[in-house]
């Protein structure tokens, strides 16, 4: 039996839409300092009222934390390369 998801679980979803719509979303995402994914989540969140906006904000924080951890990991990796080459 599949594990039941909580409403706050982050899930993946594949979407299909026109290149023009994707380009417009990407342009708006840059203007709003968001990733394309965050822009889509934010817009969907606003459709569902306060709960949706809260979930979109939660996702934004999740994505920022993942980016921070990735940068941290890459910095650590870069330092190891420098030490190894000495």
Q: CA angle, 62 as apex, 72 and 8 as ends, to 5°?
A: 150
Q: Do residues 56 and 41 make contact, with C-beta atoms less than 8 angstroms apart?
A: yes
pLDDT at 85 (0 to 100): 67
The per-residue pLDDT for range 5-39, each reduced to its tens digit, is 887 788 888 999 999 999 999 999 999 888 898 88
Tokens of 20: 């023009």
pLDDT at 41 over 90: no
Q: Annotate 53-80 with DSSP letters as a single string.
A: HHHHHHHHHHHHHHHHHHHHHHHHHHHH
Q: Is the pLDDT of residue 48 over 70?
A: yes
CA neighbor of 29 nearest in space, from 60, 68, 58: 60
Domain borders along the chain are: 19-85
């Amino acid at each position: 039996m599949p594990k039941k998801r909580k409403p706050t679980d982050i899930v993946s979803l594949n979407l299909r839409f026109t290149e023009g719509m994707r380009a417009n979303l990407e342009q708006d995402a840059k203007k709003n300092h968001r990733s394309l994914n965050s822009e889509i989540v934010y817009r969907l969140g606003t459709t569902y009222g306060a709960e949706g906006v809260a979930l979109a904000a939660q996702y934004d924080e999740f994505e920022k934390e993942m980016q921070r951890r990735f940068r941290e990991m890459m910095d650590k990796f870069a330092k190891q390369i420098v030490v190894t080459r000495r």
